[in-house]
Amino acid sequence: MAAVNDSTSPAGATLHYIFDPMCGWCYAAAPLVDAARSVPGLWVEFHGGGMMTGANRRAITAQWRDYVMPHDRRIAELTGQPFGEGYFEGLLRDTGAVMDSEPPTTAVLAAEALRTGGGLDMIHRLQRAHYVEGRRIADVGVLTAIAAELGFDGEAFASAFARLSGEATSRHFAESRQLLQRAGGQGFPTFVLAQADGTTSRIEIGPWLGRADEWKAQLATLAAPSGTAAEVGAGQASCGPDNCAI
């Protein structure tokens, strides 16, 4: 699945964004994704990794709240990304909520199927719904409401969501994990820049968090026809004490 800005050509460079909608450090990197979308000649392609699926689905508990809040506050300090009371005092105290990456990823796939760029729009909106508004983004009703907020026709979205649920989403997860493995990534988010000539390089985004303008300038240089796919920066961001590993 891919999304492009208006000046992009599929013949140019591609920034592969391997993410999970429940990953805090993917939310930390959201301004970098937005900046990348405005780089001329750069195609941005998303890949959902299914971090919290199957046996890894997680119910909200008091212990989970105590575990994630220090990491969320660190993300806010490093990047300026907002975390709302609806999240800290609402969702993280909602013991009936379940963290499940599959439904929101299906919603992302459905949005992209209906509108080029819709997938990345959906990712961005889901992250705000989760971390600012404290909404249950694993609930189909919430996903349907968010799709409507983004301007999608209700019936068209419901049809695309049903078609892409289950096997199609599982296949997307498998393909994303294969890409993550080939790239040598340790978790989410992972960014891989692929040049038009087929050369690729993983970009470590830790040093770029909170520096979206500088990141955009660097990507513009790397995405230019004369650019080279050199690894940039060091220090992979992480969801937990170490990473957002599967």
Q: What number is the average pLDDT over the span 110-122?
A: 98
Domains of the chain: 2-223 (3.40.30.10)
Q: Over the stretch 218-239, which tens digit does the pLDDT of each residue have?
A: 999 988 875 444 444 434 444 4
Give, as one character, the DSSP assignment of residue 184: T
Calculated CA dihedral for residues 102, 22, 142, 47, nearest 10 degrees:
-50
Q: Give the chain's mean pLDDT.
A: 89
Predicted pLDDT of residue 205: 92
> Which residue spans within the chain are E strands per DSSP?
2-4, 13-19, 42-48, 58-59, 98-99, 190-194, 200-203
Q: Over the stretch 133-173, which tens digit does the pLDDT of each residue have?
A: 999 999 999 999 999 999 999 999 999 999 999 999 999 99
